[in-house]
């Protein structure tokens, strides 16, 4: 009986995935078109290549390589050789952001604890204004 139940659950799960893909209007090889399609702790990311496929990837952890500064995010329509077109909304290019509580160290190019970083949460550049 448990084998039958497991088979039915597996069939239900596969059917739900197929229905979701049909409703989304894109083939199953397109994993995401927005960060909203990814689980918490993941971002929708794609590469620079012409036909790069967006996929849900984990956000960066402490010590992982990152890109300092503003994240490179893309929006718009992408087309693929099979005729598939997708609309991207705030998809990260090359790097997911650092995890919550981390920031990309501008000198080491790795994610670090934001509270321990020098000058974190300050605008870059020097200010002539001093506190009285």
Q: How far lies 108's CA from each of 33, 70, 85, 111, in Å?
A: 31, 16, 38, 9
pLDDT tens track for 31-79: 999 999 999 999 999 999 999 999 999 999 999 999 998 889 999 999 9
Q: Which two tokens stand for residue 77?
A: 């329509």
Total-model pTM: 0.68
What number does CATH give the domain 31-116?
A: 2.10.80.10
Looking at the predicted structure, is the pLDDT value of residue 104 above 70? yes
């Amino acid at each position: 009986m448990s084998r039958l139940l497991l088979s039915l659950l597996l069939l239900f799960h596969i059917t739900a995935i197929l229905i979701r893909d049909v409703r989304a209007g894109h083939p199953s090889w397109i994993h995401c078109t927005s960060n909203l399609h990814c689980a918490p702790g993941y971002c929708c990311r794609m590469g620079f290549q012409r036909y790069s496929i967006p996929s849900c990837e984990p956000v960066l952890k402490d010590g992982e390589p990152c890109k300092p500064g503003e994240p490179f995010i893309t929006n718009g329509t992408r087309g693929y050789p099979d005729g598939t077109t997708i609309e991207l909304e705030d998809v990260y290019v090359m790097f997911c952001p650092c995890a919550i509580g981390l920031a990309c160290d501008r000198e080491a190019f790795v994610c670090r604890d934001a509270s321990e970083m020098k000058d974190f949460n300050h605008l870059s550049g020097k200010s002539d204004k001093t506190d009285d």
